[in-house]
Amino acid sequence: MARVRKQPGTREALLQYDSVVLEPQRYKGNWQQVFGNKKSLQIEIGMGKGRFISTMAKQNPNVNFIGVEVIEEVMLDAVKRMNRTGGIPDNLRLVWINAALLEELFAPGEIERIYLNFSDPWPKTRHAKRRLTHRSFLQQYAVILQQDGQLHFKTDNQGLFEFSLNEFSDCQWQLQHIQLDMYRKLPAENVATEYEMKFHAAGLPIYRLEAVKPRSE
């Protein structure tokens, strides 16, 4: 993944947008207050340029969405893109925070679904713990997801996909709809990310799976 150059004033610029939630830890267990309703809550971790999460919010007005991004500059670019293409939907909020801190943002069982789209594969073995499908992250996801909550995962990286399959299996997640080339049988509800469109146009396979959190004992 290309590294993003730090830009002075990025944080201050983000604070001008109502859709960006300040001090999101304050709303742990009470995100209904932020949205003003009791709709179910879905999140994308690593929202990138924001096309996926904003499109999902527009297509699913009966669901609340949160885009999570750790890099402020990436989030600011996404916010600007959304505003140029119809604005940010009322059922979408954005937070910048490290995914390792998700349990500080969400109460147990507060999330209906998690999306991971084209996450950094961190190919070096010594960086495996940084992969968003590493078991340390899966343990967090299992806490914040509701019973029978799901994680939907897409990647162009075969190595990351194989690693993820093993991690999900070892952690007792129920795997379903595993696809080694998603565009051979494209799910009707699929929303493509910017990376996805680029990789598909280049003829590269897109790997996809859905995983259901382990059942409590």
47 in Cβ contact with 53 (< 8 Å): yes
The active-site residue out of 18, 77, 90, 120 is 120
Given a contact cutoff of 8 angstroms between Cβ atoms, the answer to whether 85 and 53 are in contact is no
> What Å distances lie between residue 184 and 180, 193, 210, CA to CA?
9, 17, 17
Look up residue 143 and give its DSSP letter: H
Query: How far, in Å, CA of 71 to CA of 57, rounded?
Result: 21
Is 178 exposed, middle or buried (CB count within 10 Å of its CB: 0-12, 13-18, 19+)? middle
Q: Is 18 a catalytic residue?
A: no
State how far the alpha carbon of 36 is from the alpha carbons of 31, 39, 62, 87, in Å.
Answer: 8, 9, 12, 19
| Nearest-angstrom CA–CA distance, 114 and 65 | 10
- The residues assigned a catalytic role are 120
